Amino acid sequence: MDSNAKRAHLAKITARLSGGSTPISSEAPTPANRTPSTPTDRPNHSHTPAHERKHEAKHAPRPHNEHKHETKHPPGSLNERMHTPKLTADAMLSAPSSRQFIGNTETIIAIGASTGGTQALEQVLTQVAANSPGIVIVQHMPEKFTSSFAARLNTRCKIEVREAKNNERILPGVALVAPGGKHMLIKRANNQYIVEVLDGPLVCRHRPSVDVLFRSAAAAAGKNAVGFILTGMGDDGARGMKEMFDMGSTTYAQDHASCVVFGMPKEAIDMKGVSKIIPLSQVAAAINQYGK
């Protein structure tokens, strides 16, 4: 054995006796508890810009059971009125096509009002005579308020005032107020008139709708109906009043000076569906002239 071989052999023996180990090759495999970094590794989001992470989260697919339920607007709320299509009275009943023959029956009074209408109706109804024709009223008002409104008027008026019920007869000396959240229509039963109180979509963004009431008066009573459109915002009632006028009804609009808001009467006047324009102070006398 040459001198180099001897020195190598002695080094191995010395290392073994001293507890050392043979040096590890630089090509030894990676220890099992360390995972090499590869292109398929999970991305490190700490290095991803915030706006990119937000975009990925927004557009990530969701499980089918995580879709949000559609939000429904509370009935009669401003949101329901503003976020639903503006329908006409066609949604509730067909327009009268021609002036049909309607024999002589009792006169009925149909009144529509909105903004400022509660005060206007109080002023009118407290002056209406006890022998007045039957009166039907649509005042834009949320449900549960119309009952107390009618009850309060009933304590102050000579006529009886109450919230209408389905299939109730329209009688002289009685005023029926459409319930909030329901439409009220006039129907003819032989020579008598009754009211139908029905659910339905918003008409002119209202329920009850003056247009629905007036159209039903035009179709059921024709010349035996008298219409009054009082203070209010918007155009609900204008088309229905024109239909009443075309079917032979006498129609009245409150004048500009006495209105809180001249919207509804103005629209009816512009549509040429008004027989007479009068101040609020003359409405009760106009009603009383049709009494017996």
In the chain, where the domains are located: 106-288
Angle, CA 219 vertex, CA 198 and CA 112 arms, to 5°:
60
Dihedral, CA atoms, 180, 164, 216, 182, nearest 10 degrees? Answer: 30
Active-site entry in 183, 211, 235, 236: 236
If you average pLDDT over residues 231-243, what whole number do you get? 97
**26-48 confidence digits (pLDDT tens):** 344 444 444 444 444 445 554 55
Residue 200 has pLDDT above 80, yes or no: yes
Residue 19 has pLDDT above 70, yes or no: no
Instruction: Give the model's pLDDT for residue 190.
Output: 85
Active-site entry in 114, 209, 216, 258: 114
Residue 139 has pLDDT above 90, yes or no: yes
More confidently predicted of 133 and 189: 133
Answer yes or no: 246 catalytic: no
**Can you tell me the distance from the alpha carbon of 114 to that of 228, in angstroms, rounded to the nearest whole number?**
12
Omega within 30 of 0 (cis) for the link into 172: no
Determine the angle formed by the axes of helices 238-246 and 210-220, rounding to 10 degrees: 10
Token representation of residue 184: 């009220």
Candidate from 21-25, 198-202, 210-214 with smallest mean pLDDT? 21-25
Length of the chain: 292
Beta-carbon contacts of residue 75 (< 8 Å; ≥ 6 apart): 143, 181, 207
If you average pLDDT over residues 216-238, what whole number do you get? 97
**Can you tell me the distance from the alpha carbon of 112 to that of 206, in angstroms, rounded to the nearest whole number?**
12
Token representation of residue 235: 């155009």
Instruction: Give the model's pLDDT for residue 282.
Output: 98
DSSP code string of 218-231: HHHTGGGEEEEE-S
CATH of 106-288, one of 2.60.120.10, 3.40.50.1000, 3.40.50.920, 3.40.50.180: 3.40.50.180
**Can you tell me the distance from the alpha carbon of 162 to that of 165, in angstroms, rounded to the nearest whole number?**
9
Cα distance between the two ends of the chain: 147
More confidently predicted of 75 and 169: 169
**Is the torsion defined by CA of 114, 117, 118, 121 positive or negative?**
negative
Answer yes or no: 235 catalytic: no
**100-137 confidence digits (pLDDT tens):** 667 778 999 999 999 999 999 999 999 999 999 999 99
Using CA atoms, how far residue 122 sits from 3, 89, 147, 213, in Å, is: 129, 27, 14, 20
Answer yes or no: 258 catalytic: no
**Can you tell me the distance from the alpha carbon of 65 to that of 183, in angstroms, rounded to the nearest whole number?**
38
Paired sense of beta strands 250-254 and 168-169, if any:
unpaired
Active-site entry in 132, 140, 209, 258: 140
**Can you tell me the distance from the alpha carbon of 204 to that of 94, in angstroms, rounded to the nearest whole number?**
15
Q: Does the pTM exceed 0.85? A: no
